[in-house]
Amino acid sequence: MRLNELREYLDGYLRVAQVPDWGGALNGLQVDSPREIGRIAVAVDAAGATVEAAVAWGADLLLVHHGLFWDGNQPVTGRRYRRLKAILDADLAVYSAHLPLDVHPEVGNNAVLARELGIDPRGSFAEYKGMPIGVWGELETTRGELVERVARVLGGPVHVVPGGPERIRRVGVITGGAGDEVGAAARAGLDAFVTGEGKHHNFFDAEEGGINLLLGGHYATEVWGVRALARHLEERFGLEWTFLDHPTGL
């Protein structure tokens, strides 16, 4: 299919123009291409390794959660030059969706991870520029059982701040680096809050706020959206896709 047709569909489906985000995210099409789109590589990050892997696989489009320009308006030198040269030499298109993909109710990181954990999203909590970003739902379990479930789903260790009750009924999810939303989770009456990473002071936010904080890793909590979106595009347009796994361990 034509790249402009796919871009228009993604812009509308993800509500790119309506979802506020940090300026460096540059959501939407980041690199144009004259190629027809038949093969899509998806990744969490538009890093050198994922760009190289997308080119080697013969992708027409690289669809990512974290785009090319997180470091702002910088000269095209060093690693930025190397990434862009590889992209342009291959006529590889690049599309990025950060918060629009986090918050999407069907293929978003938050909703998909919640469902993977057995949580049916029932409401939202926490906001960014007036936009609700987190999802919460009910789950009858214990703290220990929830930690084991999160570790199993994410495939790695989970750091726990046991600030809340042992018996858990309401769990919230915001993927990535949302540790500062502990307060919002506590105000929403949640027993546990699952996110990727936090800051030193978030320990005390959870301990003194009466909430269990589970940190499963920024990368591990954000592999869900790009894969769900790719499956959606495969079902709707018959596009072939592959996931380029390049974990950071963070």
Q: How far is CA 98 from the centre of its chain?
A: 7
Tell me, yes or no, whether 242 lies in a domain.
Answer: no
Tell me, yes or no, whether 51 lies in a domain.
Answer: yes
Q: What are phi and psi of 30, to 5 degrees?
A: -100, -30
| Shared-domain flag, residues 69 and 127 | no
Is 235 buried (19+), middle (13-18) or exposed (0-12) by CB count in 10 A? exposed
Mean pLDDT, the chain, as a whole number? 97
pLDDT of residue 237: 98
| Shared-domain flag, residues 10 and 88 | yes
**Last residue in a domain, options 48, 75, 101:** 101
Tell me, yes or no, whether 247 lies in a domain.
Answer: no
| Shared-domain flag, residues 60 and 83 | yes
Q: How far is CA 136 from the centre of its chain?
A: 16
| Shared-domain flag, residues 195 and 136 | yes
Tell me, yes or no, whether 172 lies in a domain.
Answer: yes
| Shared-domain flag, residues 76 and 116 | no
| Residue 39, number of CB atoms within 10 A of its CB | 16
Looking at residue 133, its amino acid is: I
Tell me, yes or no, whether 189 lies in a domain.
Answer: yes
| Shared-domain flag, residues 115 and 209 | yes
Domain count, the chain: 2
What CATH number is attached to the domain comprising 32?
3.40.1390.30
| Shared-domain flag, residues 90 and 12 | yes
Tell me, yes or no, whether 79 lies in a domain.
Answer: yes
| Shared-domain flag, residues 116 and 211 | yes
pLDDT of residue 71: 86
pLDDT of residue 140: 96
| Shared-domain flag, residues 114 and 135 | yes
**Last residue in a domain, options 101, 131, 150:** 101
| Shared-domain flag, residues 29 and 117 | no
Structural domain including 53 reads 3-101
Q: What share of the chain is helix, strand, coil (3-state, %, to 5)?
A: 40, 25, 40
| Shared-domain flag, residues 195 and 127 | yes
* Widest pairwise Cα distance in the chain: 56
Tell me, yes or no, whether 66 lies in a domain.
Answer: yes
Tell me, yes or no, whether 249 lies in a domain.
Answer: no
Is the overall model pTM greater than 0.95, yes or no? yes
* Ranges under pLDDT 50 in the chain: none
- Cα 183 to Cα 204: distance, rounded to the nearest angstrom: 10
pLDDT of residue 235: 98
